[in-house]
Structure 1
Amino acid sequence: MTTDGFDAADELTARIRAARTEPGASTQLAALALAVSANLPVLLWGEPGIGKSAGMQQLADGLGVPLETVIASVHEPSDFAGLPVVGADPANSGVTMAPPDWALRLSRNGGGMVFFDELSSAPPAVQAALLRVVLERQVGSLRLPEPVRVVAAANPPSSAADGWHLTPPLANRFVHLDWTYDPRVVARGMAGTWPELAIPVVDRSRIGTAVAKARGAISGFLTARPGLVHHLPQDAEARGRAWPSPRTWEMALKLLAVGYACGAEREPLATALVGTVGDGAGVEFLSYMEELDLPDPDRVLADPAKFALPERGDRQLAFLTAVVAAVQGRLTQQRWEAGWEVLAKAVDAGVPDVAARAAGDLAVMRKPEWPVPSGIEAFLELLEMSGAL
């Protein structure tokens, strides 16, 4: 074939690749975008050839960041732990662990996304080496910048070539999302039109309220259901997916706060939360959230006299936790005193025990020059015993 023949073939291929986009909705892409915005490692589960890599490229293009793809199954542990480079004086300067080229490119760029494909086909030794990359963002002697986002993909062991179950320590550090395809979307894409991904944007004005509400919801739920704080599944396949632990609940806290701050729709946020703590704990938490309906703690602190304490005990605890978190997030004397007015209503309602923990947390925020407010009187004995006053 002549060069002209290649040019014509390349032109044909370029025309096939060219496509337009249109507004569309994809729960899995929106859930992935939420988790990436929260800077949480994500693991996409799906059969080969259904568009995991294409979804990653679409997300990277939408964020305007570079994407580095690393096929985990064809690498050695040293490719992630670093290759030793002996200097002129190793006894004094040590041995440098040289990072791979993809890590250097991300570091020089100051951020981006790294996509570890075929993770479940990587042997346990490689998975163990990847653990430090996911946990500490450390590749050899190089620490990846904070703006670097980590996403991986895995095929179910039944469909992966020489597939392995993920080790529990590695699995427990990911948000697990099942990746599927919509035949109608694929058919329209073959015609030249693909859906456009909407990137969630955190509203700075919502950050304080979002963090406070998320803390209240997670803390209230785990107080009511302590058995779900940590539950390691029995079978190997389940241990290689999402399950609840203090680590994954902290991840859920970040996700929920980002969801509140972005004004995320319920379905993508629910998908991401279940992918963080597992089906059982996730579904129960979502049910709890539907009935919670927490008021905006910042609005309550602005005018505590108009606030009525919720009747249910779990809502009371969640809301008082959110109020204290809101005060801590933007601590002023006025907001601190308003917090005590809110807690005093729990005493008036005959449930001082619900507010006891929140009172201790609020008391330690007091600055020496602030006078003791009247609302603290009902908690004086408790606080004196705890040494908070």
Structure 2
Amino acid sequence: MAHQSVVQDAVAVAVTANLPVILWGAPGTGKTSSVIALAEAMELPAEVVIGSIREPSDFSGLPVIRDGTTWFAPPRWAERLAAGGSGLLFLDELTTAPPAVQAAMLRVVLERTVGDLRLPDAVRIVAAANPPEQAADGWDLSAPLANRLIHLDWQVEAADIAAGFAGGFTVPALVHKDPPPEAAVARARSLVGAFLRVRPELIVAVPDGADRAGRGWPSPRTWEMAAKAVAACEHADARPEVEAALVLGAVGDAAGFELITWLRSLDLPDPETLLTDPRAPLPERLDQLHALLGALVAHVRADGGRDTWERSWTVIARVAKSAPDVAAGSARALVAGRPEGAAPPAAMLELAPVLRVAGLLP
């Protein structure tokens, strides 16, 4: 299990990247106070909502008649967050919330919607739960709700508690107010996509058993969260252990370990190096080529320039000589993102067979 400082850093990275996260730990171990301290450090107003004392209508809204139509009125905590424009919603004691309440939370966690009110995109969501066997009248977390969160195990270290009592409890150093740039997210998404080409059976793997389904498991939604976590960790210059905690918390231990191991073995050249040096070596493995071209397309789209787009076709042409199927997918993505006024370069015109495979030529 991860050291407490790793988990605290992981929470800070997740909150910065606006990734919904849940902390699992025993009662009375400082989860709530740590999250509130993090919110204060980020200057985010915090609202604490305790699942055990809530009804489904506290999340789905109370039906009222307004102007002759039915309006699902949100509770005051949701109105305060909406009025502030940003904030941190802390959903506490999730495993003491019965299934009907958990079901009502689904739209809040995924869509930021409470009744007929949509919370601002800048509202972050953090949850906390005790393992069902440690919770009063505990319930397993439902699989749909679990699949909307990154799961982290909250550990209590005696040295940390002693230091906190002596000198005060600190917040993680990885506190940023700006999320990772979209270009970094696009690159991480392309890398995860390349990994799933190699391991397509991991795209969806719903666990059997309520206890395992109530934690992180692979699905397109959680792979997307894992990609954003990878980008956020790179942006924050986080330790590898923090990245691993977030990825494993999103897609589960088995799939997460595979992705982390694969990412650390890629050793890809920088896209800009390939664009400027036509003789730069290319990797030989197909999975590396998929990852390389995915990163290249993300780089080209982030740059947005005609010259960069035109030069990228030289790389596509090089890959097409040994792996035309790999080149075809990236060719389709480049054509879709063609900048206005960009002329088809000679390298692109030489790729007629590949472009036909990609469905871009009759």
SS for the counterpart of 1:305 is coil
TM-score (norm 1): 0.87
Name the CA distance, whole Å, in 2 between partners of 1:33 and 1:84: 36
Name the CA distance, whole Å, in 1 between partners of 2:241 and 2:285: 26
Report deviation, 1:134.
Answer: 0.9
Q: Tell me, yes or no, if the aligned pair for 1:364 and 1:388 is still in contact at 8 Å.
A: no
- AA aligned to 2:268 is L
**Corresponding residue of 1:12:** none
Report deviation, 1:212.
Answer: 4.2
Match status 1:76 vs 2:51: no
Q: Tell me, yes or no, if the aligned pair for 2:274 and 2:280 is still in contact at 8 Å.
A: yes
Q: 2:103 aligns with which of 128, 131, 141?
A: 128
**Corresponding residue of 1:319:** 292
Q: Tell me, yes or no, if the aligned pair for 1:347 and 1:378 is still in contact at 8 Å.
A: no
Q: Tell me, yes or no, if the aligned pair for 2:42 and 2:176 is still in contact at 8 Å.
A: no
- AA aligned to 1:337 is E
- AA aligned to 1:84 is P
Match status 1:380 vs 2:321: no
**Corresponding residue of 1:4:** none
**Corresponding residue of 2:145:** 170
Q: Tell me, yes or no, if the aligned pair for 2:297 and 2:330 is still in contact at 8 Å.
A: yes
Match status 1:352 vs 2:324: yes
- AA aligned to 2:251 is V
**Corresponding residue of 1:310:** 283
SS for the counterpart of 1:115 is strand
1:331 to 1:314, Cα distance in 2 relative to 1, 3 A: same
Show CA shifts across 1:351-388 (max 9, x none): 33332211222233335743322222452123135442
Alignment coverage as a number of residue pairs: 359
User: Between the two proteins, what is the percent identity of the paired residues?
Assistant: 47
Q: 2:192 aligns with which of 218, 232, 243?
A: 218
Q: 1:160 aligns with which of 116, 132, 135?
A: 135
TM-score (norm 2): 0.93
Report deviation, 1:114.
Answer: 0.9
Q: 1:253 aligns with which of 205, 227, 246?
A: 227
**Corresponding residue of 2:40:** 61
Match status 1:95 vs 2:70: yes
- AA aligned to 1:160 is A
Q: Tell me, yes or no, if the aligned pair for 2:38 and 2:171 is still in contact at 8 Å.
A: no
Report deviation, 1:213.
Answer: 2.9
Q: Tell me, yes or no, if the aligned pair for 2:42 and 2:177 is still in contact at 8 Å.
A: no
SS for the counterpart of 1:97 is strand
1:40 to 1:186, Cα distance in 2 relative to 1, 3 A: same
Show CA shifts across 1:64-112 (max 9, x none): 111111111111111111112223x52xxx1222211111111111111
**Corresponding residue of 1:86:** 65
1:156 to 1:385, Cα distance in 2 relative to 1, 3 A: closer
**Corresponding residue of 2:307:** 334
- AA aligned to 2:320 is V
Report deviation, 1:208.
Answer: 5.8
Higher mean displacement: 265-274 or 211-220: 211-220
**Corresponding residue of 2:23:** 44
Name the CA distance, whole Å, in 1 between partners of 2:182 and 2:141: 36
**Corresponding residue of 1:364:** 336
Show CA shifts across 1:184-227 (max 9, x none): 011122223333421343779x8365234313310110000000
- AA aligned to 1:382 is V
Higher mean displacement: 292-301 or 155-164: 292-301
Q: Tell me, yes or no, if the aligned pair for 2:95 and 2:139 is still in contact at 8 Å.
A: yes
Where do 5+ consecutive residues of structure 1 fail to align?
1-23
Report deviation, 1:342.
Answer: 1.2
Name the CA distance, whole Å, in 1 between partners of 2:154 and 2:340: 54
**Corresponding residue of 1:17:** none
1:203 to 1:264, Cα distance in 2 relative to 1, 3 A: farther
SS for the counterpart of 1:213 is helix
Name the CA distance, whole Å, in 2 between partners of 1:370 and 1:105: 48
1:81 to 1:331, Cα distance in 2 relative to 1, 3 A: same
1:299 to 1:215, Cα distance in 2 relative to 1, 3 A: farther
- AA aligned to 1:334 is D
SS for the counterpart of 2:102 is helix
SS for the counterpart of 1:366 is coil
Report deviation, 1:347.
Answer: 3.4
Name the CA distance, whole Å, in 1 between partners of 2:178 and 2:167: 34
Q: Tell me, yes or no, if the aligned pair for 1:202 and 1:261 is still in contact at 8 Å.
A: no
Report deviation, 1:35.
Answer: 1.3
Name the CA distance, whole Å, in 1 between partners of 2:273 and 2:38: 35
Superposition CA RMSD, Å? 2.1
**Corresponding residue of 2:206:** 232
Where do 5+ consecutive residues of structure 2 fail to align?
none
For residues 105-124 of structure 1, the aligned pairs below 5 Å read: 105-124=80-99
SS for the counterpart of 2:135 is coil
Q: Tell me, yes or no, if the aligned pair for 2:50 and 2:91 is still in contact at 8 Å.
A: yes
Name the CA distance, whole Å, in 1 between partners of 2:318 and 2:42: 46
Name the CA distance, whole Å, in 2 between partners of 1:368 and 1:149: 37
